[in-house]
């Protein structure tokens, strides 16, 4: 695969029930899960309940008809994940850029140690403005 994929090969689709299991599996993938604030494994039942409420807030990205990632925006908070096979090729940048056309007020909450996500969001025009401090023994 080329280092950067062309936008012509990428497509952002509205979420549908046929994509729910892909989203759940990607969110639970060990290489992806570590980037999220919430680290717990998401069960099928939990995910279906969540998707029944928020499915319309998510989009999936296809690269040449292959599922490459998802992006969502709930209450102006962005969720994004790229399948490990497509990481580092511009898929997340494409998804966030497209999402921002639909949700221009959206924000990103990124773990401090997630340097790749910080770099991604900064490349999409985001700036660090706030720090959210929590006690890890309470969270």
Q: Give tens-digit pLDDT for 87-127.
A: 999 999 999 999 999 999 999 998 888 888 999 999 999 99
Q: Read off the CATH number of the domain in which 15 is found.
A: 3.40.630.30
**Does 132 map to a domain?**
no
DSSP the chain: --SS--GGGEEEEE--GGGHHHHHHHHH-HHHHTTSS--SPPPHHHHHHHHHHHGGGEEEEEETTEEEEEEEEETTEEEEEE-GGGTTTTHHHHHHHHHHHH-TT-B----TT-HHHHHHHHHTT----------TTT-
The model's pTM is 0.89
Q: What is the pLDDT of residue 85?
A: 94
**Does 131 map to a domain?**
no
* Average pLDDT over the chain, rounded to an integer: 91
**Does 114 map to a domain?**
yes
Q: What is the pLDDT of residue 5?
A: 60
* Residue range of the domain that includes 27: 7-123
Q: Give tens-digit pLDDT for 47-62.
A: 999 999 999 999 999 9
Q: How many domains is the chain built from?
A: 1
**Does 58 map to a domain?**
yes
**Does 137 map to a domain?**
no
């Amino acid at each position: 695969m080329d280092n950067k994929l062309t936008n012509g090969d990428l497509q952002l689709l509205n979420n549908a029930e046929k994509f729910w299991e892909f989203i759940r599996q990607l969110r639970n993938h060990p290489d992806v899960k570590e980037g999220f604030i919430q680290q717990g494994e998401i069960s099928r039942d939990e995910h279906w309940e969540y998707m029944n409420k928020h499915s319309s807030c998510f989009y999936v990205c296809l690269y040449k008809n292959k599922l490459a990632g998802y992006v969502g925006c709930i209450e102006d908070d962005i969720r994004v994940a790229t399948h490990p096979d497509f990481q580092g090729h511009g898929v997340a940048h494409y998804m966030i850029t497209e999402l921002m056309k639909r949700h221009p007020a959206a924000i990103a909450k990124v773990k401090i140690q997630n340097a790749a996500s910080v770099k991604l969001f900064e490349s999409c025009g985001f700036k660090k403005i706030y720090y959210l401090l929590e006690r890890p023994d309470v969270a």
